[in-house]
Amino acid sequence: MLEKLNEVEKKYEELGELLSNPEVIADQKQFQKHAKAHAALQEIVEVYRKYKKVVSDLDEAKALLKEEGIDKDLREMAEQEIEQLSGEKEKLEEQLKLLLLPKDPNDEKNVIMEIRAGAGGEEAALFAGDLFRMYTRYAEKQGWRTEILSLHETDIGGIKEIAFLVEGHGAYSRLKFESGVHRVQRIPATESGGRIHTSTATVAVLPEAEEVDVEINPNDIRVDVFCSSGPGGQSVNTTQSAVRITHLPTGIVVSCQDEKSQHKNKEKAMKVLRARLLDLAVQEQQGEMASVRKSQIGTGDRSERIRTYNFPQSRVTDHRIGLTLHKLESVLEGELDEIIEALITTDQAEKIKEVE
């Protein structure tokens, strides 16, 4: 680890010298590139320098303790200092391990979330609606913006399928572990017998892709326009504003009908298509790495059951990390931080094991 940190510090210093080079300053493109790289290394270098200072002070305190004829008061002071500095050293080592972990290039991106009703009929659609509300409440608490991109509702207000944008700093880093099958156990409002039913909904979290991330050849897509329809297939309007885009090489189909303008619907559908294509590329890459990386917390199979929401016991259980909370109501109101923090911490701990 120390060898890596020395290399990082050396690189940081080289970049600092480049930033004061008149030729680099004159070339704004080069200057910005080096400035970005320099800023990215700043935190780790600052922590490493603090760590080196603590190690140096610790060595001095230990050397003082070994001196002959040291008086009692000085010995006690040296022992206290050693205890304090040893604790600091340990904390800084853990911090440095985390800072050395490879960064997920998508962490700072906005996300497109897709929720689909699974097994359970109308009850599954109502649960999908509950999940959508939970994530929008969480986004509000984070100060993020949400925008519905496409929505297919049922006759009684459930959601068959929804795609929505979550826009905010670090949205993907916080929400990426939500992908998978979510299960609900409760007595449905439509059930007169009072029996507990189990229903499911699937959640997909896709980093928002810019045009530079995913290049789509216009010849690879087919665009169909049609009249939009409401719940149960009822007609909403008679103009052909709804858009369906088919990506021919992958067979991915995206449709959007929420806007009155065909142009806006196409724009939203393209946004979802780009995100799905980027996600497909990431999934393929992670599939290749699966044999190397055992941790599948954030990259697991989309068909994996990740969490259960049990209404009779007011319980939420995340099966990947064995976390159970008895506060279902607050979780469904968007209080997700405790679960998200636990998932992030577990993922980081497993990554540290891999690099040690």
Best-predicted range by mean pLDDT (40-49, 191-200, 250-259): 40-49
**Do residues 342 and 298 lie in contact, with contact meaning Cβ atoms separated by under 8 Å?**
no
State the distance between the two ends of the chain, measured CA to CA, in whole angstroms. Answer: 8
Better pLDDT: 91 or 194: 91
Percent of the chain residues topping a pLDDT of 70: 87
Closest CA to 145 of 110, 107, 187: 110
Closest CA to 84 of 49, 54, 64: 54
Pairing of strands 221-226, 242-247: antiparallel
**Do residues 214 and 199 lie in contact, with contact meaning Cβ atoms separated by under 8 Å?**
no
Rounded Cα gap, residues 34 and 39, in angstroms: 9
Q: What confidence tens digit (pLDDT) does each residue in 107-156 have?
A: 888 999 999 999 888 899 999 999 999 999 999 999 999 999 888 888 88
What is the per-residue pLDDT for 238?
Answer: 54
Indicate the helix (H) or strand (E) that contains 173: helix 171-175
287 pLDDT more than 70:
no
**Do residues 31 and 17 lie in contact, with contact meaning Cβ atoms separated by under 8 Å?**
no
The residue type of 1 is: M
Q: What confidence tens digit (pLDDT) does each residue in 67-94 have?
A: 877 888 888 888 899 999 999 998 998 8
Q: Please, what CATH class does the domain formed by 111-351 belong to?
A: alpha beta
DSSP annotation of 23 reads H
β-pair partners for 114: 163, 204
Mean pLDDT of the chain: 84
**Do residues 19 and 31 lie in contact, with contact meaning Cβ atoms separated by under 8 Å?**
yes
Q: Where are the domains of the chain?
A: 2-100, 111-351
What is the per-residue pLDDT for 229?
Answer: 65
* DSSP conformation letters of 95-164: HHHHHHSPPPTTTTS-EEEEEEE-SSHHHHHHHHHHHHHHHHHHHHHHT-EEEEEEEEE-TTS-EEEEEE
What is the per-residue pLDDT for 347?
Answer: 86
Rounded Cα gap, residues 38 and 17, in angstroms: 10
* DSSP conformation letters of 46-96: HHHHHHHHHHHHHHHHHHHHHSTT--HHHHHHHHHHHHHHHHHHHHHHHHH
298 pLDDT more than 60:
no
Q: Which of 131-140, 155-164, 236-245 has the lowest mean pLDDT?
A: 236-245
Angle at the Cα of 42 (from 37 to 46), degrees rounded to 5?
160
pLDDT classification of 233: cutoffs 50, 70, 90: very low
What is the per-residue pLDDT for 29?
Answer: 84
Better pLDDT: 262 or 298: 262
pLDDT classification of 234: cutoffs 50, 70, 90: very low
